[in-house]
């Protein structure tokens, strides 16, 4: 019966399903239908594997630390973060400053010989590999598999005969070339390539900016799944060959078509234990980042068709909603970490810094029931917060939501400032700042922060309150409204609405900061008592 329902949805209903109003899939417990995106959060370039009845996802984290998130699911629809593969980025000295757009690009996770491997590129250094016996970690120290500027998006394949191979691409911004895919042999341990690379595909004519390859083998064919055409308006291609070094046939297996789901590509093919095939990919949504979708897959004549193929031409279109993977209703739903009461002795898995952190920036305190952010001196000559490393941030968790936080301020010296922020290439924050012995409640807006522009003060009022509630309401199109309260009940709008913008290769983020001008031996601080999200979609 389930297969019949799926067939009907496949042939008849996909256009109708795209009209279904979006809702959070983790609220569909017990339902037979899920709605895309399955994660309305910035988990860019997702890769997924199944081990038994468990699914593990990794995603790009760029310059954010801890880096390389590892997520878990039992149904491919609801996910939670179980850890990070990189507690700090290497080389350590290089990541003592903020490297927007650097760090961890599209990773690939694989199980091999009972262990877990992640291959990830740093476009400024090369391709690294780490190993673990458990996806939750701990993970090994990174090993350089191939050094070289501009090498990106690696994916390994251990063949049936024990030989190992690595496919990867080039980032034009670093390498000076792009739109080709390369394959190298590796040693059996997967720790190093051991010969020169071979070009197996040139996408310049039909598939410019081909990148993000994933290596698979099925029914005697080698397959390379790869996105092309660019992040925002691209498509998904699949290459296949009987020989690992080619030549490869090519086919577009998914494009936007008549849907509103732009750039549907860059992801992972995964098969359930019952034999269902699925494809996890991202959609670029501007300030929200690259959100995660789940598509059904059908194999026809040893070619995959991803999504819905109403006209039968072999090129699918992404679905907005579809029947859940078989047996998914048997498992409890995962919950992505968002809220934080700050009552534990570990930093929540949803939080990241802008680069490798220092202990002095901030720390949890179970004893005091808070997370303390110290007012640490900003880098010399910085015109704004773009290059400030000690921003305590997490991803936007939904299209529309309200974030509220309770904070206690102990700003001891002039020039110390702490508050709540929406951060990106443009940013806006609400804060408390000490100025000439007075405590000022402020809202500051900064346009083109990435270009070095200064901030503009758009709200300024004196306050003697040591405890304040800050609130940011985020609506559709990432319109943000800032407010504050003295009692946690009545909120007052502060400043103008703000249209969030993404960062460099990442979505806008929300969180907190605490800074000061110059060094002192006993800086002031802000204690965050709790942070709570209410989704409004």
Q: Is the CATH number 1.10.3720.10 carried by domain 359-535?
A: no
Picking from 173, 131, 168, the residue whose alpha carbon sits closest to that of residue 149 is 173
Strand-pair partners of 438: 435
Catalytic residue among 26, 47, 75, 211: 211
DSSP output for 144-193: EEEE-TTEEEEEEEE-TTS-EEEEEEE-HHHHS--SEEEEEEE-TTSS-B
DSSP output for 105-158: -S-EEEEETTEEEEEEEETTTEEEEEEESSTTSPPPPPEEEEE-TTEEEEEEEE
The mean pLDDT value for 246-259 works out to 98
Q: Beta strand pairing status for 235-241 and 249-254?
A: antiparallel
Asked if 43 and 346 touch (Cβ cutoff 8 Å), the reply is: no
In the chain, what are the domain boundaries?
A: 44-272, 359-535
Q: Is the CATH number 3.40.1710.10 carried by domain 44-272?
A: no
Which residues have CB under 8 Å from 486's CB, separation 6+?
463, 465, 468, 469
Identify whether 45 is a catalytic site residue: yes
Residue, of 518 and 31, whose pLDDT is higher? 518
Q: Could you tell me the two tokens for 287?
A: 């300030």
How does pLDDT run across 443-489, given as a tens digit for each residue? 999 999 999 999 999 999 999 999 999 999 999 999 999 999 999 99
Place of tokens 């072999």: 314
Q: Is the pLDDT of residue 94 over 60?
A: yes
Cα torsion 251, 253, 256, 259: sign: positive
Please confirm whether the linkage preceding 91 is cis (ω < 30° from 0). yes
Picking from 235, 213, 516, the residue whose alpha carbon sits closest to that of residue 376 is 516
pLDDT score for 20: 30
**Cα distances (Å, whole numbers) of residue 42 to 293, 325, 344:** 11, 23, 25
How does pLDDT run across 305-364, given as a tens digit for each residue? 999 999 999 999 999 999 999 877 788 899 999 999 999 999 999 999 999 999 999 999
Please state the pTM of the whole predicted model: 0.93
Identify whether 211 is a catalytic site residue: yes
Catalytic residue among 26, 42, 45, 153: 45
Q: Beta strand pairing status for 303-306 and 321-323?
A: unpaired
pLDDT score for 32: 85
359, 364, 368, 369 alpha-carbon torsion, rounded to 10°: 160
pLDDT score for 9: 39
């Amino acid at each position: 019966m389930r297969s019949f329902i799926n067939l009907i949805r496949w042939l008849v209903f996909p256009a109708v399903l795209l009209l279904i109003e979006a809702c959070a899939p983790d609220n569909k417990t017990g339902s037979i239908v899920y709605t895309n995106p399955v994660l309305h959060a910035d988990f860019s370039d997702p890769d997924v594997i199944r081990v038994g009845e468990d699914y593990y996802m990794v995603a790009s984290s760029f310059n954010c630390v801890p880096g390389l998130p590892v997520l878990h699911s039992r149904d491919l629809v609801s996910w939670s973060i179980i850890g990070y593969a990189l507690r700090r980025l290497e080389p350590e000295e290089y990541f003592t400053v903020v490297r927007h757009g650097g760090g961890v690009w599209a990773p690939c996770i694989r199980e091999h010989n009972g262990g877990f491997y992640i291959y990830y590129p740093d476009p400024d250094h090369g391709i690294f590999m780490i190993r673990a016996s458990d996806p939750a970690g701990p993970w090994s120290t990174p090993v350089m598999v191939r050094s070289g500027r501009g090498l990106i998006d690696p994916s390994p394949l251990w063949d049936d005969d024990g030989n190992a191979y690595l496919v990867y691409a080039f980032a034009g911004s670093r390498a000076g070339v792009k739109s080709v895919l390369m394959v190298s042999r590796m040693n059996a341990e997967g720790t190093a390539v051991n010969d020169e690379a071979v070009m197996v595909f040139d996408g310049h004519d039909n598939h410019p900016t081909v990148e993000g390859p994933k290596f698979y083998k099925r029914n005697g064919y080698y397959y390379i799944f790869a996105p092309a055409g660019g992040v925002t308006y691209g498509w998904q291609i699949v290459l296949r060959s009987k020989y690992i070094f080619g030549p490869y046939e090519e086919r577009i297996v998914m494009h936007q078509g008549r849907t509103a789901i732009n750039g549907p590509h860059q992801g992972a093919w995964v098969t359930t234990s019952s034999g269902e095939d699925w494809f996890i990919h991202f959609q670029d949504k501007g300030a929200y980042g690259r959100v995660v979708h789940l598509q059904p897959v059908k194999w026809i004549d040893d070619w995959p068709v991803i999504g819905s193929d109403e006209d039968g031409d072999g090129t699918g279109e992404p679905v907005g909603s579809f029947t859940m993977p078989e047996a998914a209703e048997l498992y409890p739903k995962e919950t992505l970490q968002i809220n934080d009461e700050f009552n534990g002795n570990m930093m929540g898995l949803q939080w990241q810094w802008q680069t490798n952190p220092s202990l002095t920036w901030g720390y949890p305190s179970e004893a005091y029931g808070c997370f303390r952010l110290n007012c640490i001196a900003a880098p010399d000559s910085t015109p704004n917060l773009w290059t400030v490393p000690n921003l305590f941030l997490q991803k936007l968790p939904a299209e529309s939501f309200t974030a509220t936080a309770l904070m206690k301020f102990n700003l001891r010296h002039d020039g110390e400032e702490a508050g709540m922020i929406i951060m990106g290439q443009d940013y806006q924050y609400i804060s408390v700042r000490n100025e000439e012995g007075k405590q000022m409640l402020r809202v500051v807006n900064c346009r083109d922060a990435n270009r070095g522009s200064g901030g503009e003060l758009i709200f300024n009022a004196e306050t003697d309150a040591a405890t304040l509630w800050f609130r940011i309401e985020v609506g559709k199109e990432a319109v943000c409204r800032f407010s504050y309260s003295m009692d946690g009940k009545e909120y007052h709008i502060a400043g103008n609405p703000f249209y969030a913008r993404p960062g460099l290769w990442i979505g806008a983020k929300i969180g907190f900061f605490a800074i000061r001008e110059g060094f002192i031996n006993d800086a002031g601080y802000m204690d965050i008592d709790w942070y709570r999200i209410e989704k409004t979609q």
